[in-house]
């Protein structure tokens, strides 16, 4: 959709920081007129840089300079409003999605996962998610209708773009963890 604004998952943003970013993704990003970065993705990138600082402070400083340059460009930043908090609370309390609370639940040092937060922003602002890892968002869509999930590396809509904002599943009983 020509006028769509895509909500970028962390892996799309992180790909752009590589010395040799995926050429298809770089080309896709350059062709977009409107992109949004959710707070949760910025948080994940910042956390990754802080972890990198422990092992390679020079690389971490380079990544912070890169991130500052990215954030100085013309992206949109959807606010985490009370409505986002309400949707996020529903997502967090959905028992089948509890495995998404942590980015890697089996790691020794678990980090909070941000896919549920990104999904809440996508739902409230009606923005399709652009991601390289569609699996988690497909699972979220099984319980809470997402406005679309797109993988630009393969030019595939894993969850078709939806323009209707109402969903029976959003209003259904919630399975609390």
Residue 89, token pair as written in the block: 């609370």
Supply the range of the domain harboring residue 153.
Answer: 6-171
The answer to whether residue 125 sits within a structural domain is yes
The answer to whether residue 69 sits within a structural domain is yes
The answer to whether residue 177 sits within a structural domain is no
The answer to whether residue 139 sits within a structural domain is yes
CB burial class (10 A; 0-12, 13-18, 19+) of residue 172?
Answer: exposed
pLDDT category at 167 given cuts 50, 70, 90 is very low
| pLDDT tens per residue across span 83-108 | 999 999 999 999 999 999 887 766 66
| pLDDT tens per residue across span 104-125 | 766 666 678 899 999 999 999 9
Residue 35, domain CATH: 3.40.50.1010
Q: Domain total for the chain?
A: 1
Instruction: Name the pTM for this structure.
Output: 0.87
């Amino acid at each position: 959709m020509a006028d769509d604004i895509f909500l970028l998952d962390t892996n799309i943003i992180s790909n752009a920081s590589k010395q040799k970013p995926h050429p298809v993704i770089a080309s896709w990003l350059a062709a977009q007129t409107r992109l949004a970065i959710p707070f949760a993705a910025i948080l994940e990138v910042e956390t990754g840089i802080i972890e990198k600082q422990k092992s390679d402070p020079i690389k971490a400083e380079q990544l912070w300079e890169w991130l500052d340059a990215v954030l100085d460009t013309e992206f949109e930043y959807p606010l985490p409003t009370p409505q986002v908090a309400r949707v996020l609370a529903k997502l967090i309390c959905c028992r089948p999605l509890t495995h998404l609370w942590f980015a890697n639940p089996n790691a020794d040092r678990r980090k909070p996962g941000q896919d549920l937060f990104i999904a809440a922003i996508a739902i409230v602002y009606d923005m399709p998610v652009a991601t390289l890892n569609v699996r988690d968002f497909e699972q979220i869509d099984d319980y809470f209708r997402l406005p679309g999930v797109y993988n630009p590396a393969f030019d595939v809509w894993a969850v078709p773009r939806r323009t209707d904002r109402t969903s029976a599943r959003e209003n259904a009983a919630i399975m609390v963890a």
